[in-house]
Amino acid sequence: MPPSTKFPVEVLTPEGEVFSEEVVQISTRTAIGSIGILANHQPMLAMLDPTELRLYSSESDFVTLAQGEGYLQVQRDSRVLILVDEAGKPEDLDASEWEDKLKRAEEEMSDADEGSHQRHVAERDKRRAEAFLKILKGDAGS
């Protein structure tokens, strides 16, 4: 099997750069479903959902990040830019902190009016907390 073509990827949050290396593949989830990105992918812009982000340095070696909401941009030169509100290595995440965030989001949802901005924000926070907890428990792929 010929070696896979590498391409540059940057993962950025409001706090700064989380990842910047060349990879052979990206695996993540957009608002419409799972996606894999290889070199020379068609240019695109996609909204990202909270999920496990896998950045493959080879077919078998990869870095896993917990990814919040954001955007993925595949540029014409095969560069990929991932802009998310939050991202981190699972080992750097605190499960009790995410359980607290989930509980707070559920409380905010129950206090908010259906269709309100407050309800929308609480639902988004709940989805992110659930996704990050799933990654922490090691069952993000299920």
Domain ranges of the chain: 7-88, 93-136
Write out the DSSP string of 78-141. S-EEEEES-EE-GGGS-HHHHHHHHHHHHHHHHHSPTT-HHHHHHHHHHHHHHHHHHHHTT-TT
In the three-class reduction of DSSP (H, G, I as helix; E, B as strand; rest coil), residue 131 is classed as: helix
Tokens of 49: 């959902």
pTM score, whole prediction: 0.85
140 pLDDT higher than 60? no
> Fold for domain 7-88?
ATP Synthase; domain 1 (2.60.15)
3 pLDDT higher than 80? no
Express each pLDDT in 73-104 by its tens digit.
999 988 999 999 999 999 988 899 999 999 99
pLDDT of 142 reads 43
